[in-house]
Amino acid sequence: MRRHLLLTAGTLMTAAVILAGCGESGSSGTEAPASSAAGNGCAPVAGDKLVVLTDDKTLQNTDNVVPAINKKSSSPQLIAALDKVSAALDTTKLIELNKAVDIDRKSSKAAAEEFATANNLTAGIEKGPGGDLTVGAANFSENATLGELYNIALTAAGYKVKVQQIGNRELYEPALEKGDIDVVPEYAATLATFLSGKVDGKDAKDPSSPQLDTTMTNLTALGAKVGLVFGKPSTAQDQNAFATTEAFATKYGVKTLSDLAAKCSGAATVLGGPPECPQRPKCQQGLVETYNFQAGKFSSLDAGGPLTKTGLKQGTISVGLVFSSDGALAAG
């Protein structure tokens, strides 16, 4: 699945802020600095079920799902309809939607329709001025499913809606500004960083924050400069996260990243993630600076993909970088 966090280079601080790397590029089994071997650490524990460790010191930014709207296309009824989607979503429900598509192999449209029915999504939606609308979506399944949810809500509001998948943010964001598309499901912190680079250039300060209100205040101000407005953000987040197997978490008594740092820093602990992980402030570098977590080894795998999840399940890594809304994290 292509994720919104994995942007191409060239948008402000994408390498430093958005990509979540974990350690210097290198082969699997890269040794950590000597200071990381102070304790015994926690050896990997194989298991089929994955659990995300709570980011209790808010290392990651607030990548909440939020509707981004071309201002000229906007109306109170349109925003209210999209806000119904935001109100119905949380991270657990987003995980279940992703499971339905990525694991159970349903279409995004079918998964969205089932969700809308189960959550009474269209109840109370007021009719808007009507007309044609194009909902854009990025080229990964989660965003396509969110686009279908927007379609359902906006259709209930009296619009004639088309959903169009348009690749990555570098392609669909300019189309949103121009009005070639009218609405896109977005991710607050990542879009704020993207727009900051576009509006303020290389000297821009990072507008994203672990505090959602701060991120949204900055995002709203940046959007105003390029003709975009936003609905209410949902509590659903698709952000970098660190997972272990449930068996590992139970064996070592870890529920949070602070627990991991306190109990599992040391030689036996293997951290897995993309090759760029050790230098990245939202991956290994951040784990060291925010939590003082010291892995014994780093295993170069992928960014929340099959290599990392397989490494966790087969017991070759202790903890790995995943995405918080991954369908593989579904309960049951």
| Parallel/antiparallel/unpaired status of strands 295-300 and 266-273 | parallel
- Look at the domain 65-230 and name its fold: Dipeptide-binding Protein; domain 3 (3.10.105)
Span 113-124, average pLDDT: 97
Span 124-140, average pLDDT: 95
Structure tokens at 291: 């939590």
pLDDT of residue 147: 98
Better-predicted residue by pLDDT, 6 or 241:
241
pLDDT-based confidence at 39, cuts 50/70/90? confident
pLDDT-based confidence at 332, cuts 50/70/90? low
Percent of the chain with pLDDT over 70: 88
pLDDT of residue 7: 33
How confident is the prediction for the chain on average, in pLDDT?
89
Q: 158-198 pLDDT, tens per residue? A: 999 999 999 899 999 999 999 999 999 999 999 999 999 99
Question: What are the distances in angstroms from CA 199 to CA 40, 195, 207?
Answer: 48, 6, 12
Better-predicted residue by pLDDT, 7 or 317:
317
Span 219-235, average pLDDT: 98
Span 239-247, average pLDDT: 97
Better-predicted residue by pLDDT, 150 or 205:
150
Indicate the domain borders of the chain.
14-59+239-329, 65-230
Q: 66-111 pLDDT, tens per residue? A: 999 999 999 999 999 999 999 999 999 999 999 999 999 999 999 9
Q: Report the CATH superfamily, name and number, of domain 14-59+239-329.
A: Osmoprotection protein (prox); domain 2 (3.40.190.120)
Span 232-238, average pLDDT: 97
Residue 327 has pLDDT above 90, yes or no: yes
Contact predicate 32/293, CB 8 Å: no
Contact predicate 243/45, CB 8 Å: no
Cα of 128 vs its chain's centroid, Å: 31
Residue 11 has pLDDT above 60, yes or no: no
Span 38-51, average pLDDT: 92
Residue 20 has pLDDT above 50, yes or no: no
Structure tokens at 295: 């892995």
Q: With the C-alpha atoms ordered 266, 267, 272, 274, is the resulting torsion angle positive or negative?
A: positive
pLDDT of residue 118: 98
pTM: 0.86
Q: What single DSSP character describes residue 32?
A: P
Strand order in the sheet with 65-70: 159-165, 131-137, 183-187, 65-70, 228-230
Percent of the chain with pLDDT over 90: 84
Residue 33 has pLDDT above 80, yes or no: no
Closest to 6 (Cα-Cα) out of 255, 274, 252: 274
